[in-house]
Structure formats: C-alpha cells, structure tokens
A and B are shown apart, each in its own frame.
Chain A
Amino acid sequence: MSAFLTLVARDLRLALRQGGDAAMVIAFYVLAVVLFPFGVGPETDLLQRIAAGIVWVTALLAALLSLERLFQADYEDGSLEALALLPLPLEAQVLAKCLAHWLVAGLPLIVVAPLLALLLHLDPAGYPALVAGMALGTPILSLVGAIGAALSLGARRGGVLLSLLVLPLYIPVLIFGVAAVEAGIAGFGARPDLLLLAALLVLAVGLVPFAAAAALRLALE
C-alpha cells in the first residue's frame, strides 16, 4: 500500500512541478465550451436545451487531451522499465497512475463543469446530477483512457490513434452522464443513471488494470 501511495505521490509531484497540466486541461475545457454560444447563437432557450450535452462532450475531449501524458513520459525516459521491476504488480501501478491522472486532470473538470453549465443557463435542477455524474464518470475516463494510452505507446501518430481507440469506449459514460442530468431536470430523479455510472466505474476499476498492464508489458518487450 505504501508503494502504491508513493507512486501516486510521485506522479502528482511530477505533474505539479512540471506544472500546466491541469491548467491546460481547464483552459481547453473552458475555451471549447465557450465556442458553442458563438457557433449556435446566444439564445438562452437553445443553450439551456443543449447545455448538459455540451458540458459532457467537451469534458470527454478535455480528458482525452491529457491522456497521452499518462505513460508517455515514463516510457520515453525509461522509468517505466524501472517501475516494471518493482515488487508492486504492474496492475496496481496502473491504478496508481490513473488515480494521479484523475486528481490532476479529472477533478478540475468536476469543479469547472457547474460554472460552465451556469454560462450555458443549465436548469438549476440539473446541477446535483451533473456534479454527481461527473464525480462518477471522470474516473472512468481516466481508467478507460489508460488502456488506450498503454496500447498506443510507441505507435506512429499515437495521439490521433488514441482518440480513435478511446472515444468509442467513452460513449456509455456520455450517454448515462447526460441522461442523469436530463432526468434530474425532468424530475424523474437521476438515481438509475447514476447507479449505472457507478456500475461502469466498478467494472472499470476491476478490469482496466489487467488490460492496461498487459499492454504496458507488451510495450516494454
């Protein structure tokens, strides 16, 4: 456990000292959302109708943007090979790296999302479901993204490839995340959709480390 926490602390320290990772993700998120009122026009009704979708879709893209950093730097400077020699199983290391990635790139999204929803005039009834859905959904984005990031290590045009691999797998999160907000606004209660997101999260925590660790071992061969 202490090795796990040490690895999380190391990744966090690296991300914070190099700086800019979280800031860049947030800047992209805000900018991408702000583009929509220019694109579809500033009518309040229209923006209110599509606010949940915009906030979620751009959150997916913002999460995607930072995924490449997950293993790439460690792969390039060789520390991934040193990490693979640790007694801590590679599966646990994947979880630790995902946790660190989520703290740096996922948590800020949850904080910023309600503010952006405010800009788009989201119905007040939708905010609890939006934040709860984001809290359950963004860790899934980090976890599922870890598979794509590990698989595309050393590939040509890795960035584009990564989005092609990961975005289809993000669709369930998007569907249930938006459905939760819509249900909250319509007054049905967001509970079923949030429970489905929680189920996806449990599934991802259980299965992703094995797939991502297998991909990392392949990259290290």
Chain B
Amino acid sequence: MFRLANPNRFMQWSGKLLPWCAIATAIFLGLGLWLALFVAPPDYQQGESVRIMYVHVPSAYMATTVYAIMAVASAVALIWRHPVADIAAREAAPLGAGFTLLCLVSGSLWGKPMWGTWWVWDARLTSVLVLFFLYLGYIALINAFDEPTRGARAGAILALVGVVNLPIIKFSVDWWNTLHQPASIFRLGGPTIAASMLWPLAVMALGFTLFFVTLWLMRIRSALMAAKLRALRLQQAV
C-alpha cells in the first residue's frame, strides 16, 4: 500500500495491470451474460424475468462494496495522508453511484412484474436510496471547495460517517419483515439458491467486480495524469 503512494510507481504498476483487468472483464462479463441469459433455468414461479436477478444482485453487491472501498481509501488517506488513496476514493464515488442507480432501476423493473409495483417504501429499498444520496452528497462536497485537497479530506470524513448505513442495508431484510426477500446467498447455513442459478450469479458478480476495478484504475490514472498536466502547465507559465 505504501509503495503505491508514489504516483509514478502507481502509474507503472497500474499500467501493467490494466490490460489484464480489461481482458478478464470481457471474458467474465461475456461468460456471465451467456450463462445468465441462455444457460440458467427459468424460475418455477417467476419464469424468465428471474434473469433480471443476474444484473440486480451484482449491482447491489457492487453498490455497497464500492462504498466500503471508498470508506477504507478515505480512512487510509486521512490517517497516512496517502496521496493516491485520496484520488482513489474520489474516483470510486461516481462508479458507486452508477452501480447504485443500476441496482435501483433494475430492482424497479423486476418489481413491476413480480410485486406489481415499481417501488415500495420497504426498508431495503429505502436504505439503498439513502446510499445513493450519500454518494451524491459526497460528490457534491468534494467539488464544493476551491482547494481540491480540502474537498477530498472533507469528503473522506463524510464517507466515514456514511458507513453507518452499510450494516443497515445488509440487515434491513432481517430487522424489518417487508416485501424485499431475505438474504439467500451470504447467510449462515449456506446459500438457499439453486446451484444452477448460483453459478451464473457468481460469474456475473466476478465480472462486475473486474469491470469496476478496470474503470477505477482508468479513472485514477487519468486523474493522476490530469494533475501532472496541470503541474507542468503551471511550471511553463512561471
């Protein structure tokens, strides 16, 4: 972690990693989509619309995971003044917001045929909506200061405060018994989902993770390059 605090070393390292990530993303997302759309069986109750699950569940998982990653990067940036962690947290936020939106939209599209409604004020849905607003608040806060470092550090504090929402999302289906179904994958006593659906889901989740890592590395690299460009321009102006 500390070796990567040097932007130049990070650029070297991520430059080597990036093509492999991109290839792995293409393979796993492609394989996952094929498995989810053609191989996995339709559900005995939900029929073909169960396939929305293969987008909805991975994006929900990414929405919370990206927030956790952002919070860890923020903590690292605050504690050790790690310069790349600062940028890493900032660049993860729009991606996390995107996954959260995807999760909400795909859930809504799934909810219409299954529950008969686009939206219910259920605890799980509401807490994910709050997560989306937390992402937006974070993005607004880091861009609200004239000094970029000030914004990044204020954002880091906000990201850590927002962590309280993550356990609420995770346990909302256990604490409040409402329309959203309870956990069926990461639970004590093993998953309750059929293996023929679990495998495509796992491949999709891996594909989503790799997709995020690829985009994240690209965003961090371009932010570092933009910072360097700005520094060079300033040097020239002087």
Contact = CB atoms under 8 A, between A and B. Distances in A.
B157 A168 contact: no
A167 to B, nearest CB: 7
B231 interface: no
Contact of B154 (A157, A171, A218): A218
B153 A218 contact: yes
**Secondary structure call for the A interface:** helix
Nearest to B143: A156
Interface in A150-169: 151-152, 154-158, 161, 164-165, 167-169
Nearest to B78: A214
Contact of A157 (B126, B144, B150, B153): B144
Given A171-B126, A218-B154, A164 B137 contact: yes
A147 interface: yes
Given A168-B134, A168-B137, A211 B144 contact: no
Contacts of A154: 145, 150
Contacts of A211: 157, 160-161
A167 B136 CA distance: 12
A152 B168 CA distance: 26
A151 B154 contact: yes
Interface string B156-190: 01101110100010000000000000000000000
Contact of A215 (B136, B140, B146, B154): B154
Contacts of A169: 161-162
Contact of B157 (A158, A175, A215): A215
Nearest to B150: A218
Contact of A218 (B157, B160, B161, B168): B157
Interface size class of B (residues with CB under 8 A): 20 to 34
A218 to B, nearest CB: 5
Given A171-B126, A211-B161, A164 B136 contact: yes
Nearest to B134: A168
A154 B150 CA distance: 10
B64 to A, nearest CB: 15
Interface string B121-143: 00000100010011011001100
A152 B161 contact: no
Contacts of B164: 203
B145 A155 contact: yes
Interface in A31-51: none
B172 to A, nearest CB: 11
Nearest to A203: B164
A90 B153 CA distance: 18
A167 B133 contact: yes
B74 to A, nearest CB: 11
A171 B130 contact: yes
Contact of B144 (A152, A171, A218): A152
Nearest to A170: B130
Nearest to B160: A211
Nearest to A164: B137
A161 B155 CA distance: 12
A31 to B, nearest CB: 26
Given A158-B144, A165-B158, A168-B137, 8 more contacts: A147-B161, A155-B145, A161-B140, A161-B141, A165-B137, A169-B161, A172-B168, A218-B150
10 contacts: A152-B141, A152-B144, A152-B154, A164-B137, A165-B141, A168-B130, A211-B161, A215-B157, A218-B150, A218-B157
In the complex, the 10 A-B pairs of residues with the closest C-beta atoms, listed nearest first? A155-B144, A168-B133, A165-B137, A164-B137, A168-B130, A151-B154, A211-B161, A215-B157, A156-B144, A161-B144
